Structure 1
Amino acid sequence: MWLPKRLLRAVVTEGWHGLFRSPMATPPKLPPRFLHCTCCRRSHSPERSGGAQPSLDSCYTEAQRTAILQVLNHAPESQLAGVKLLRGRKSANIMEYRARHGPFPDLESVVNVPLLKHKTAAVVFHSILHPEEKRQPKAQPLRTAKFVKPELEWKTLQEASSIVSIVCGTSRIAWAHVDRSPCVQDWQQEECQHFMKGTYLASSYLEDVGAVVDRMPEADFYVVEKPGMSLQSATLFPVTVHMRTVEAMLFALLAGRAGDSGGVPRVLNMMRMAVGRHFGLIVGDSRTSGAQLVQQLMTDSVGRSGPRLAFPPTLVVRYRNAFRPHSWNQGEEMCDAVLQALAFYELLSDS
């Protein structure tokens, strides 16, 4: 590209911008352009009017300044770490600053310590002047029992004097009334003639379940077993529907019977697998029978002092032959009911 000598001289001496100004004009002096960095922009931007912070020394009386400086200049690091916001690196920075520069002459000089700016220093000074003001402790979360649903406070369950443990089967419902000792107060099972017979007639189911609920004693909580049955197997679907139907009816009837208890539910679920894990009855993904364990508990109740679970002599005589190997299938629900009650109390005491 051909340029006149005058323009070429301007380009050589002043750069390309020399082409676009008048020969007689003087280029304006522009302020340097800083990078778009927060630190650079703040360091080169003028102070806003009225934005200056008041001196820290002007915020306190002479006596207060003396008390604050006395702590900052003479307290050991362990004492500084007890001041609010000074735990950790900040107290170490104060000790290093004192060793390098000597004592603080005034409060404003404290902001020269790394990590101690005006807002932090103000909180530190207030904590030094008012050491009796402690940070309000955080509200502790309620300790709830995870092995029952819905979850209740641990203390609420520990105050229960007795429970009724209920287990539903395909043809019967068993329940055990156990107190906190723990001691079995009553222990029964009821045959339900309409269970798993043809269609699930609501009226027939309600008649059987209602008759069982009417014979149950009063208790602080009614604990219904929650069977862990998979819905992936089509062959187990009728059994699952049956279990869920009976479970729903038990909850409805028992909740109406228990009445209002200050918003605390009195009908609870307890997972069958949780009870099995507590007694070591899990083999693979299945739970084995607990009849042999119940038979041993009954034997210990008669022959030992302070047994794991106490049975009245009348119940021992009544059921002494009910849980032998040939008759386990007739009393499986009763075994599960008493084991669930024992697990309920032992899980509370163990934790």
Structure 2
Amino acid sequence: MIRSLQFVLRAGKAVLWHPSPTQRSLHCSQCLRKSTVNMSWKGNAAESEPGGDNGKISFNDVYTEEDADTILHVLNTASEVELSGIKLLRGKKSSSIVQYRQENGPFLDLNSLVNVPYFQSKITMKVFESILHSESKDHRKERKTEVKATSKLIKPGIPADRLDAAESIVSIVFGTQKIAWAHVDRKMTVLAWDQEDWHRFMKGIYHSHIYWEDISPIVSRIPKADFYVLEKPGIPIQNSNLFPVTLHLHMVEAMLYSLLNTRYAADDNHCVVSMGRSIVGKHFALMVGESRTSGVDIVKQLLLEPGVPGKSWVKFLPEIILRYRSQFQMRRQKRNEELCDALLQAITFYDLIVT
């Protein structure tokens, strides 16, 4: 008989304990009783499993005909590599399925899988569930990957299927004195292009209710679209001298999110996103180091000439051409930086994200 060695704490020291024969007998009887209970429970559980070895319930009765066809299609057509891609079929299980098909032909019903080595009724049920849900898991993974890919360019990331279904967007750029927008459809036609001055920003004390009073009327003029793309404020937070400007721009951004993202409360889907200035700058080669230069000349070329080589070009409605062509031809015209940036941002959004 093997004697178990145990240590007990006595007077603050670990002391080797030698159990007496009576204690050993009591300990062994308790272990035996515990193991007997566990064996009895396992036996009852096996009898109650659907499709158990007792044959009382068939797997064909548990699953619908459509689900059974899906499972059998995977078992009969998937290669060993494809089968091993399913979590519960890795290793010898996938090779056993392929070997069984080669020796016995295709699986005719769900119950026949228990004839394959390494498969019992309990694991077989889990395998069936894993096969049925593997497609939906792959779809969720693909969807998550797509969202992650767009999140590198816009925040928050948007699933590709929603972007593909978009008919038009409104690109919005704002500063301390102006807010501008460009409404562009997926055919790259500029449907609306406008801006609005605001005179009270950054002058004296600017209370929260004034933001609401100034921004709400402007938002009412912005056209309806599937997505609204805001220019992300690009002023470094570390620059304490520009903190009031940074705070102002973030306040405007938050107001636009709130006023334009009206569907979020109903379906949890964002229709307002933000895009960094540097993304547009890099797309049109406007970056000088970490700084972005003006895009007015590019927009002037888009408006007055056929297009920009290597970039998507836009089409303007006749009334927009009549309104802005003479203005951009003037030598001392206002720079209209926000107006130009809104259009370039819309083009970048379609070039990099939608198309």
| TM-score higher than 0.5 | yes
Aligned to 1:221: 227
- Flag the 1:321–1:234 CA change in 2: closer, same or farther, 3 A: farther
Give the count of matched residue pairs: 272
| C-alpha deviation, 1:171, in angstroms | 0.9
Matched, 1:272 2:249: no
Summarize deviations over 1:265-314 as a string: whole Å, max 9, x none.
3333222233323333333222222222222322444799x962111233
- Secondary structure (helix, strand or coil) at the match of 1:335 reads helix
- Flag the 1:206–1:34 CA change in 2: closer, same or farther, 3 A: closer
> When the two structures are superposed, what TM-score results if normalisation uses the length of structure 2?
0.59
| C-alpha deviation, 1:152, in angstroms | 2.7
Q: What pairs up with 1:41-80 in 2 under 5 angstroms? A: none
> When the two structures are superposed, what TM-score results if normalisation uses the length of structure 1?
0.60
Matched, 1:136 2:133: yes
| C-alpha deviation, 1:240, in angstroms | 0.8
Aligned to 1:180: 186
Structure 2: segments with no counterpart, 5+ residues: 7-27, 44-52, 56-78, 98-115
- Flag the 1:198–1:348 CA change in 2: closer, same or farther, 3 A: same
- Flag the 1:35–1:247 CA change in 2: closer, same or farther, 3 A: same
**Which one-letter code corresponds to 1:191 in the other structure?**
D
- Secondary structure (helix, strand or coil) at the match of 1:320 reads helix
Q: 8 Å contact 1:177–1:217 — kept in the other structure?
A: yes
Segments of 4+ in structure 1 off by > 4 A?
Answer: 32-36, 45-54, 78-94, 123-127, 258-261, 300-304, 321-329
**Which residue, 165, 171, 176 being the options, matches 2:171?**
165
Matched, 1:335 2:344: no
| C-alpha deviation, 1:80, in angstroms | 10
Q: What pairs up with 1:196-211 in 2 under 5 angstroms? A: 196-211=202-217
Q: What pairs up with 1:1-351 in 2 under 5 angstroms? A: 31-32=1-2, 120-122=118-120, 134=131, 136-137=133-134, 138-139=136-137, 140-141=139-140, 142=143, 143-144=146-147, 145-146=150-151, 147-255=153-261, 262-301=267-306, 308-320=313-325, 322-323=327-328, 330-350=335-355
Question: What is the distance in 2 between the residues matched to 1:244 and 1:344?
Answer: 21
**Which one-letter code corresponds to 1:165 in the other structure?**
S
| C-alpha deviation, 1:323, in angstroms | 5.0
- Flag the 1:49–1:234 CA change in 2: closer, same or farther, 3 A: closer
Summarize deviations over 1:196-217 as a string: whole Å, max 9, x none.
2222244444333233222222
Question: What is the distance in 2 between the residues matched to 1:80 and 1:214?
Answer: 57
Task: Answer 1 or 2: which has greater helix percent.
Answer: 2
Provide the aligned C-alpha RMSD in A: 4.7
Larger radius of gyration: 1
- Flag the 1:151–1:87 CA change in 2: closer, same or farther, 3 A: closer
Summarize deviations over 1:305-329 as a string: whole Å, max 9, x none.
x962111233233323545796686
Q: 8 Å contact 1:177–1:186 — kept in the other structure?
A: yes
Question: What is the distance in 2 between the residues matched to 1:302 and 1:231?
Answer: 37
Q: 8 Å contact 1:231–1:240 — kept in the other structure?
A: yes
Question: What is the distance in 1 between the residues matched to 2:265 and 2:214?
Answer: 25
- Secondary structure (helix, strand or coil) at the match of 2:352 reads helix
| C-alpha deviation, 1:243, in angstroms | 0.9
| C-alpha deviation, 1:119, in angstroms | 9.4
Summarize deviations over 1:98-149 as a string: whole Å, max 9, x none.
xxxxxxxxxxxxxxxxxxxx9945379959xx99x94531522233231333
**Which one-letter code corresponds to 2:196 in the other structure?**
E
Structure 1: segments with no counterpart, 5+ residues: 1-30, 37-44, 62-77, 95-117
